[in-house]
């Protein structure tokens, strides 16, 4: 039976469909059924497309079998109305497979069966999309960052990388690729890449992110990719504007990101609007204040499970009011005050856990242990991290506390200076002045300059 003919009132069917994307297997805890596993994959045939979610024992059984690009016979699934909040598939229903579900690899895989169905949205229209909207997008990829590891609130390590995506609408946008997709995404790619089911976010004003239901194709075989590659070869991607006000993860500034000065933070109206103000600066970390203004350490005790603040101490144990965790050892996370300087002045700012770890080279737990064991070694270690230069992205927002408004500035990115790129940035800034070249003087007319002429020339 074709996918478009499936409905909840008929359970006697078998479909033949191609898997176009497959998410990671996750575990969950249910108060009724206890722990279990779940994963999802998207399928399509000549008539339509659909999302399939596999639960519990079936998830453990079918996860190794299901592969992207292969064709399967699927039957004995349950259908329900599709939740459009989590999927942009053009399908009225979505399928769940339980213990009696059947997924069987199709030996006579039909080459004519479509691979992925797209409904591409131009990047220029992403600014009008609401947060969490799910879109299909294609563009020329550049500035792919290395894979980095972060710790989730649930205490799990997760891979991520970022890239720049541009199309012939004249705009570019940052996309963050998560999980196993970040591991599979090529490190060095400057061709068309399509993403199905990317999510619109407000990170750095406007950006995209992948999730478990997102799939991507490098250099897809379709008309849109051919058109974009021709546009790129003609130099189109060199003159685009970005919807994302960010600094690339590898320290390279976006082409149209305005380089600012710390003095700009003192301008009227900075951070007073509905949205925060973002500035990109080349600055020196001149002072790390490990004791803080009020003699507090730059870390707090947090829950290993949910990362919320916990109460207690190392002698009596810790308790988390948020998730109910209790134990003898907690995790420590940074709230690091510091001063940064550039030619325009100095600014007190704050770096939270991930950025502070990057600047200090140790986790808050490791640095606390060093301080507890050897105060002098701790002071020396922190001092060595001062007076280093970074390309920083700062977020400034005015907050009201005790009826007083004050500007709060946070460092959201800090990358070591790429001096080759900085030289290009300086040359580009000099070129904006468009100074006329001096006319060459005739050799016969050359004469020594008088003292007054030298003074005027200077």
**Mean pLDDT, to the nearest integer, of 188-206?**
84
Q: Are residues 138 and 84 in the same domain?
A: no
Task: Look at residue 256 in the predicted model and tell me its pLDDT.
Answer: 38
List own/partner pairs for 23-28 with CB under 8 A and 24 or more apart: 23/211, 23/212, 23/213, 24/179, 24/180, 24/212, 25/59, 25/63, 26/212
- Provide the 3-class DSSP secondary structure of residue 393: strand
CB proximity list for 73: less than 8 A, separation 6 or greater: 14, 15, 16, 102, 103, 104, 105, 106
Residues 47 and 139 in one domain: no
Question: Does the pLDDT of residue 254 top 50, yes or no?
Answer: no
Residue 164 lies in a domain: yes
Residue 220 placed within a domain: yes
pLDDT at 386: 93
- Provide the domain limits for residue 167: 123-242
What mean pLDDT is predicted for residues 298-307? 84
Query: Which residues, at least 6 apart from 150, have a Cβ–Cβ distance to it below 8 Å?
Result: 157, 158, 160, 354
Q: Within this chain, do residues 401 and 289 fall inside the same structural domain, yes or no? A: yes
Give residue-wise pLDDT tens across range 96-108.
999 899 999 987 7
Q: Does residue 455 carry a pLDDT above 60? A: no
437: confidence class by pLDDT, cuts 50, 70, 90:
low
Final residue of a domain: which of 189, 210, 242?
A: 242
Residue 349 counted as domain residue: yes
Domain count, the chain: 3
- Rounded Cα gap, residues 283 and 348, in angstroms: 12
Verify that 238 and 269 share a domain, yes or no: no
Residue pair 194/157 in contact (Cβ under 8 Å)? The answer is no
Instruction: Answer yes or no: do 191 and 229 share one domain.
Output: yes
Q: What is the mean pLDDT of the chain?
A: 83
59 by Cβ neighbours in 10 Å (0-12 / 13-18 / 19+) ranks as buried
**In a shared domain, residues 423 and 345:** yes
Q: Which of 70, 105, 140 is the last residue of a domain?
A: 105
Same domain, 320 and 388: yes
Please tell me whether residues 340 and 219 are part of one structural domain. no
Coil/strand/helix, residue 110: coil
Residues 304 and 163 in one domain: no
Residues 199 and 61 in one domain: no
| Residue with the larger pLDDT of the pair 151 and 40 | 40
Considering 145-159, 256-270, 389-403, 437-451, the range whose residues carry the highest mean pLDDT is 389-403
Higher confidence at residue 374 or residue 443?
A: 374
**Residues 29, 89 within the same domain:** yes
What digits encode the pLDDT tens for the residues 422-433? Answer: 787 778 778 777
* Nearby residues of 30 by Cβ (< 8 Å), 6 or more positions away: 36
User: How many CB atoms lie under 10 A from the CB of residue 31?
Assistant: 5
What are the residues facing 178 on neighbouring strands? 160
DSSP class of residue 372 equals H
pLDDT at 247 (0 to 100): 41
Residue 295, domain CATH: 2.40.50.140
Which pLDDT belongs to residue 54? Answer: 93
- pTM tops 0.75: no
Yes or no: say if 105 and 63 are a contact pair by the CB < 8 Å rule: no
Judge if 278 and 323 occupy the same domain.
yes
Q: Is residue 251 part of a domain?
A: no
């Amino acid at each position: 039976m074709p996918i478009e003919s499936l409905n909840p009132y008929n359970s006697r069917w078998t479909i033949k469909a191609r898997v176009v994307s497959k998410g990671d297997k996750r575990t969950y805890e249910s108060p009724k059924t206890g722990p279990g596993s779940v994963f999802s994959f998207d399928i399509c045939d000549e008539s339509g497309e659909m999302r399939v979610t596999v639960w519990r024992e079936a998830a453990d059984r079918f996860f190794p079998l299901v592969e992207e690009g292969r064709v399967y016979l699927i039957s004995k699934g349950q259908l329900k109305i599709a939740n459009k909040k989590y999927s942009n598939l053009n399908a009225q229903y979505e399928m769940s497979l339980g213990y009696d579900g059947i997924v069987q690899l199709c030996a006579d895989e039909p080459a004519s069966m479509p691979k992925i169905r797209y409904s591409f949205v131009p990047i220029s229209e992403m600014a009008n999309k609401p947060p969490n909207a799910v879109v299909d997008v294609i563009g020329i990829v550049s500035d792919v960052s290395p894979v980095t590891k972060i710790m989730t609130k649930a205490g799990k390590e997760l891979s991520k990388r970022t890239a720049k995506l541009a199309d012939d609408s004249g705009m570019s946008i940052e996309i963050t690729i998560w999980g196993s997709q970040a591991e599979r995404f090529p490190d060095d790619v400057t061709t068309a890449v399509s993403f199905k089911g990317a999510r619109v976010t407000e990170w750095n004003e406007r950006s995209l992110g992948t999730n478990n239901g997102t799939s991507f194709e490098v250099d897809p075989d379709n008309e849109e990719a051919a058109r974009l590659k021709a546009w790129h070869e003609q130099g189109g991607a060199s003159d685009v504007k970005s919807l994302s006000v960010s600094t690339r993860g590898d320290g390279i500034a976006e082409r149209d990101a305005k380089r600012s000065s710390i003095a700009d933070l003192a301008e009227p109206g900075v951070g007073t609007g509905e949205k925060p103000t973002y500035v990109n600066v080349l600055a020196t970390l001149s002072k790390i204040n490990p004791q803080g203004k009020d003699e507090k350490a730059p870390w707090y005790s947090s829950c290993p499970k949910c990362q919320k603040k916990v109460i207690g101490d190392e002698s009596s144990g810790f308790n988390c009011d948020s998730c109910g965790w209790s134990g003898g050892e907690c995790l420590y996370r940074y709230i690091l005050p510091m001063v940064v300087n550039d030619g325009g002045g100095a600014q007190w700012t704050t770096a939270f856990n991930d950025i502070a770890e990057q600047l200090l080279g140790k986790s808050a737990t490791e640095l606390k242990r060093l301080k507890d064991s050897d105060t002098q070694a701790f002071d020396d270690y922190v001092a060595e991290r001062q007076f280093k230069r970074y390309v920083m992205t700062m977020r400034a927002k005015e907050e009201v506390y005790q009826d007083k408004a004050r500007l709060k500035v946070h460092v959201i990115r800090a990358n070591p200076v790429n001096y080759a790129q900085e030289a290009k940035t300086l040359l580009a800034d000099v070129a904006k002045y468009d100074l006329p070249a001096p006319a060459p003087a005739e050799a016969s007319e050359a004469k020594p300059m008088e003292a007054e002429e030298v003074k005027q020339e200077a």
